[in-house]
Amino acid sequence: MYYYAVIALQGFCVYHCYTNRNNYYWIFAIIFLPVVGCLLYLFMNVFRKRDIEKVQETLVTAINPSKKIQDLEKKLKFSETFENRVALADAYLAEGLYLEAISRYESSLKDVFSTDFYVISKLLEAYYYSSNTDEVLNCAEKIKGNTKFRKSKASFLYALTLEKNGKVEEAEEILRTFDAPYSNFMERLELGIFLLRQDKRDACKELFEEMLMESENMSKQNFRQNREFIKRVKEELQAIN
């Protein structure tokens, strides 16, 4: 098995070298130093530096999640720019530090950036997860007219907030915009659960059956991406039946 894997790797590297017209000395390295030559070729000619740096950054963040925030805090302290403030706010939001994220997003909404869609939508998200429904509604009013809002995460969270405030019909209308075949499995799962809360069992059952039918015909990659939501749909459907 190892032998065939090395042969396949060599074949790929030689083909890549030839089609990309790289220096032909690489072919000798690939053939006469099978593993070492292939690895050197891949890192020097196939993997981009940016990709390697991204992998390294991901590994460091996984080992020490606070390092990214610390680095961004230092960067902001060095240069108080809009981009640096928003990047730090995004990092706070990702780590569940909602009050800190809110503070940074709000401080970014100044001058020409006072109506920035991205910042207001992320601010809405931070307010939602910190259970401040009034501010969620306030943020939504500022960006509802933007075409980007219709199927955004901010719109989805806004709909859930409307339900909490008793505006069920308006909430359902927004949630329905996410009901598109072979996509939005997380939002459609929440739509189904929403329908159950409103005693619309038949509509919920129909939606979940459609989603399961779609899951049987989707690509492997799409299925893997939605595996947890599909599992939840099956469990909810079994509970209904």
Q: Transcribe 56-77 into DSSP letters.
A: HHHHHHHH-HHHHHHHHHHHHH
- Is 157 part of any domain? no
Other CB atoms within 10 A of residue 168 CB: 14
For 98-120, write each residue's pLDDT tens digit.
999 999 999 999 989 999 999 99
- Is 8 part of any domain? yes
- Is 11 part of any domain? yes
The vertex-131 CA angle with 125 and 134, nearest 5°, equals 85
Quick one: average pLDDT of 57-66?
55
User: In 3D, which of 147, 141, 92 has the Cα closest to residue 120?
Assistant: 141
State the pTM of this model. 0.72
Question: Residue 104: in which H helix or E strand, if any?
Answer: helix 98-108
Quick one: average pLDDT of 26-34?
72
CA-based R_g, the chain, Å:
25
Looking at residue 22, what is its pLDDT?
A: 66
Looking at residue 55, what is its pLDDT?
A: 47
Looking at residue 49, what is its pLDDT?
A: 47
- The tally of CA atoms less than 13 A away on the side-chain side of residue 80 is 4
- Is 52 part of any domain? no
Domain count, the chain: 1
- Is 37 part of any domain? yes
For 168-202, write each residue's pLDDT tens digit.
999 999 999 999 999 999 999 999 999 999 999 99
Print the domain residue range for 13: 1-47
- Is 16 part of any domain? yes
CA dihedral 144, 148, 151, 152 (to 10 degrees): -90
- Is 171 part of any domain? no
State how far the Cα of 138 lies from the Cα of 165, in Å rounded to an integer.
13
Q: Is the pLDDT of residue 3 over 70?
A: no
Quick one: average pLDDT of 5-12?
71
Give the max Cα distance, the chain. Answer: 72
Looking at residue 35, what is its pLDDT?
A: 74
- Between 4 and 137, the more confident residue is 137
- Is 25 part of any domain? yes
Looking at residue 210, what is its pLDDT?
A: 95
The vertex-59 CA angle with 34 and 67, nearest 5°, equals 150
DSSP code for 216: T
State how far the Cα of 87 lies from the Cα of 76, in Å rounded to an integer.
9
Q: What residues contact residue 119 under an 8 Å CB cut-off, 6+ apart?
A: 86, 89, 105, 108, 109, 113
**Mean pLDDT over all residues of the chain?**
86
